[in-house]
């Protein structure tokens, strides 16, 4: 099942860590940042479905970032504000935030609000996550941590197939017919491409494509 992605921008580390933990255990893929420094990059690379945004930030403040988000993505925005005044709450909503939470807040409430915004946007995330790798077949993007991985078309199709079947062992024959179509191909072709895929995907990080000798390959994190 594909997970929705949430980007958290919050400078207070205690809160950031807590929010990350809460959202992660609620089943979201979370990326958290202490500031909006690389916001544009994060929006285009990580492509969050929802951004949780602190109002008070070093550098550009939350409202400035909100405008950036609105213009260059379709993500929902939940703002965090320490200021309780009606004026600020109005400001946040008027500027076009989808929702806001006043600090201090109950973690469960933030999680519920993120969920509500997602439901409202009726986003159906298409990405697959395995360990710290994110595969987005629509966008043609593969991430490992925050790093983009460049793959050729065939490598990408192979990875997408493994991602679709992740956790399941698939034979070379299955892979051949699914990725290369019907035709007379050498099983070694799969080996060659698995090899290339590993070289790129597992350059910095633990193994994700596991060999099951005599049976085939599995995509999953952790031990074979």
Q: In the complex, what is the shortest distance from the CB of residue 20 to its own copies, in angstroms, rounded to a whole number?
A: 20
**Binder of residue 187, out of its own copies, DNA, none (CB less than 5 to 8 A by kind):** DNA
CA distance 26 to 115: 9
- Please calculate the CA angle 125-17-128 and round it to the nearest 5 degrees: 20
CA angle 203, 3, 119 (to 5 degrees): 155
Report whether 28 contacts 5 (CB < 8 A). Answer: yes
Give the per-residue contact string, 185-204, with DNA (x = CB under 7 A; - = no).
Answer: xxxxx-xxxxx--xx-----
Cβ at position 187, least distance to DNA in Å: 7
Angle at CA of residue 131, ends 125 and 137, nearest 5°: 35
* The one segment of 24-32, 113-121, 175-183, 196-204 that binds its own copies by CB under 8 A: 113-121
Q: 186-196: b or e for each residue (b if 16 or more CB lie within 10 Å)?
A: eeeebeebbee
Mark 127-156 with x for binding to DNA (rule: CB under 7 A) and - for no binding.
-------------------------xxxx-
Q: How far is the CB of 193 from DNA (least distance, A)?
A: 7
Interface of this chain with its own copies, residues 61 to 90, rule: CB under 8 A: 70-74, 86, 89-90
Rule CB under 8 A: say whether 192 interacts with its own copies.
Answer: no
Q: How far apart are CA 3 and CA 124, in angstroms?
A: 9
Instruction: Pick one of its own copies, DNA, none as the site partner of residue 94 (Cβ within 5 to 8 A by kind).
Output: its own copies
Residue 174 interface partner, choices its own copies, DNA, none, CB cut-off 5-8 Å depending on type: none
CA 194 to chain CA centroid, nearest Å: 24
In the complex, minimum distance from the CB of residue 149 to DNA, in angstroms, rounded to a whole number: 12
Look at residue 199 and give its three-state secondary structure. helix
Q: Can you tell me which of 130, 142, 162, 197 binds its own copies, judged by CB under 8 A?
A: 130
Beta bridge partners of 47: none
Residues in contact with DNA by the rule CB under 7 A: 152-155, 172, 180, 185-189, 191-195, 198-199, 211, 213-216
């Amino acid at each position: 099942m594909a997970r929705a992605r949430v980007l958290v921008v919050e400078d207070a580390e205690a809160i950031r860590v807590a929010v990350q933990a809460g959202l992660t255990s609620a089943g979201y893929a979370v990326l958290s940042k202490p500031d909006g420094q690389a916001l544009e990059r994060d929006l285009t690379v990580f492509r969050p479905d929802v951004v949780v945004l602190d109002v008070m930030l070093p550098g550009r403040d939350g409202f400035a970032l909100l405008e950036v988000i609105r213009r260059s993505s379709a993500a929902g925005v939940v703002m965090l504000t320490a200021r309780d005044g009606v004026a600020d709450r109005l400001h946040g909503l008027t500027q076009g935030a989808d929702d806001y939470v006043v600090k201090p807040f109950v973690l469960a409430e933030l999680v519920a609000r993120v969920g509500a915004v997602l439901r409202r946007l009726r986003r159906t995330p298409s990405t697959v996550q395995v360990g710290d790798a994110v595969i987005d077949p629509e966008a043609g993007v593969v991430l490992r941590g925050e790093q983009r991985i460049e793959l050729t078309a065939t490598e990408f199709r192979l990875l997408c197939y493994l991602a679709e079947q992740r956790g399941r062992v698939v034979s070379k024959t299955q892979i051949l017919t699914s990725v290369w179509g019907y035709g007379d191909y050498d099983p070694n072709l799969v080996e060659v491409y698995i090899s290339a895929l590993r070289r790129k995907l597992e350059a910095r990080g633990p193994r994700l494509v596991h060999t099951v000798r005599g049976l085939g390959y599995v995509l999953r994190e952790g031990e074979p």
